[in-house]
Structure 1
């Protein structure tokens, strides 16, 4: 219960859930479990309905895929549930930013890569003072 009151970084708080229930309308969800809403009544100063996302788990903006990002920022009028973006054969699936997670890419020789450093290739000569 306390995590819902104070834990804004790990899902929606009670205040956000109350606002969603009162003013929001569920538009859809993505494959990551994020849920997307549009306001029912509140028209903003520029005449458009407000749009927002509640994240499934940790709040990280890179979890939003390109099609939902376009809808959230009014690039597309229709949400991906109504009119999905055409997908090319060469496109990869969306991945959030993995920096700082165990799934982050670690180059060979990185100290974070299990402490294993590749052996020197032979063209390296250690510096010695003269």
Structure 2
């Protein structure tokens, strides 16, 4: 689409106004997906404002849990400083895949061919006369 497309579309990344609004704000970190996290200014209640600039599509499910907690003031320190390291059995966070080719499709779904396994003998169809 070229250069003008991201200027006007918020769903395809940050708009020009968002980039201008970063002036005077503090960049506090970056996650494994390349999202940038900022803090600066205060809301009417005096709570510091925190926000994310997404690397790619603007999708809230692309914020890892540790950064979600920081964005919503569940902990004050940056996740790299306040949280313990990830355990070896923990899986990395992944975005919501609904609507993509990688989405889960059960065997009876139309996108997966529309054929499901035949019902077994424990199923009895309902009829209005019964």
Which category describes the TM-score, using the shorter chain as reference length? 0.7 to 0.9
Per the alignment, residue 34 of structure 2 pairs with 33
8 Å CA contact 1:43–1:49 kept in 2: the answer is yes
Query: TM-score under structure 2 normalisation?
Result: 0.82
| 5+ residue gaps, structure 2 | 126-130
For the residue of structure 2 that corresponds to 1:112, the secondary structure is: helix
Per the alignment, residue 79 of structure 2 pairs with 80
Are residues 1:117 and 2:115 paired? yes
8 Å CA contact 1:65–1:94 kept in 2: the answer is yes
Structure 2 Cα separation of the partners of residues 87 and 81 of structure 1: 11
Structure 2 Cα separation of the partners of residues 43 and 70 of structure 1: 18
8 Å CA contact 1:5–1:13 kept in 2: the answer is yes
Shift of residue 7, structure 1, vs aligned partner: 1.3
Structure 1 Cα separation of the partners of residues 115 and 89 of structure 2: 34
Query: TM-score under structure 1 normalisation?
Result: 0.82
Runs of 4 or more, structure 1, over 3 Å off, are 121-126
Per the alignment, residue 47 of structure 2 pairs with 48
Shift of residue 100, structure 1, vs aligned partner: 0.5
8 Å CA contact 1:67–1:85 kept in 2: the answer is no
**Alignment length (residue pairs):** 123
Structure 2 Cα separation of the partners of residues 93 and 27 of structure 1: 21
CA 1:51–1:109 in structure 2 vs 1: closer, same or farther (change >3 Å)?
same
Shift of residue 119, structure 1, vs aligned partner: 5.1
Q: CA RMSD in A?
A: 2.2
Per the alignment, residue 68 of structure 1 pairs with 67
Structure 2 Cα separation of the partners of residues 107 and 119 of structure 1: 11
